[in-house]
């Protein structure tokens, strides 16, 4: 069977919290050992980069965005759900009813989990004028800096992103945010 003829969807695997990355590598090892790579495209632990202050130093850390959840893009045919469920610390699939099939995520949910703004809304307003101007003050309404105010330094029209300078701990920090993550004050 060729790669392209196998339809894959995104599913969420429930796992023991705190073990996400370990479980992700178990799943990948098992899939390659059984040569099922054609059926499983990617295993993903959604993370966000956070800055922690340790002993007065900034430390960049990856923080798991949805503790206890691992996303997997796969075609769950035949034995595959069973193989994944039998991996240590995997609890099961999200959305499955007792004995039923795992339920795939909707595209909009996938986009949200992968940090993409719903493609439809981007398409729909791609020819609308940019709602922001350089130097304007905006409020961050989404993401780890929710609630902070910042000044727009730059506007990237193609990517529909803004570079917003936010004061964090008294220091100015540039953030790249999508239009949907800020609002006018």
Distances in Å between the alpha carbon of 33 and those of 9, 37, 87, 102, 119? Answer: 22, 9, 13, 23, 36
Cβ 140 vs Cβ 148: under 8 Å: yes
133 with 112, same domain: the answer is no
71 with 161, same domain: the answer is no
Q: What are phi and psi of 106, to 5 degrees?
A: -75, 155
Whether 29 is in a domain gets the answer yes
Which CATH number fits the domain that encloses residue 175? Answer: 2.30.30.30
Residue 96 is predicted with a pLDDT of 60
Per-residue pLDDT of the chain (185 residues; tens, 9 = 90+): 444 568 899 999 999 999 999 999 999 999 999 999 999 999 998 887 777 788 888 887 778 878 899 999 999 988 999 999 999 999 999 876 666 778 898 887 887 777 654 444 444 444 456 678 899 999 988 877 888 899 999 998 878 889 999 987 788 888 888 888 888 88
Residue range(s) defining the domain that contains residue 63: 3-116
Which CATH number fits the domain that encloses residue 97? Answer: 3.30.70.940
The tally of domains found in the chain comes to 2
Cβ 164 vs Cβ 182: under 8 Å: yes
Whether 154 is in a domain gets the answer yes
């Amino acid at each position: 069977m060729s790669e392209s003829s196998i339809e894959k969807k995104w599913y969420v695997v429930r796992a023991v919290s705190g073990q996400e990355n370990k479980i992700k590598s178990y799943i990948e090892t098992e899939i390659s050992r059984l040569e099922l790579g054609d059926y499983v495209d990617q295993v993903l632990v959604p993370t966000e980069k956070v800055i922690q202050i340790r002993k007065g130093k900034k430390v960049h850390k990856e923080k798991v965005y949805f503790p206890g959840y691992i996303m997997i893009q796969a075609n769950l045919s035949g034995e595959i759900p069973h193989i994944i469920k039998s991996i240590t610390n995997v609890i099961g699939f999200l959305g499955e009813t007792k004995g039923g099939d795992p339920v795939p995520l909707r595209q909009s949910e996938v986009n949200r989990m992968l940090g993409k703004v719903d493609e439809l809304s981007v398409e729909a307003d791609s020819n609308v004028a940019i709602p922001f101007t350089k130097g304007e003050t905006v409020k961050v309404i989404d993401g780890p800096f929710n609630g902070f105010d910042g000044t727009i330094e730059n506007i990237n029209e193609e990517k529909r992103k803004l570079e917003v300078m936010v004061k964090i701990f008294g220091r100015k920090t540039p953030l790249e945010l999508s239009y949907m993550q800020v609002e006018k004050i």
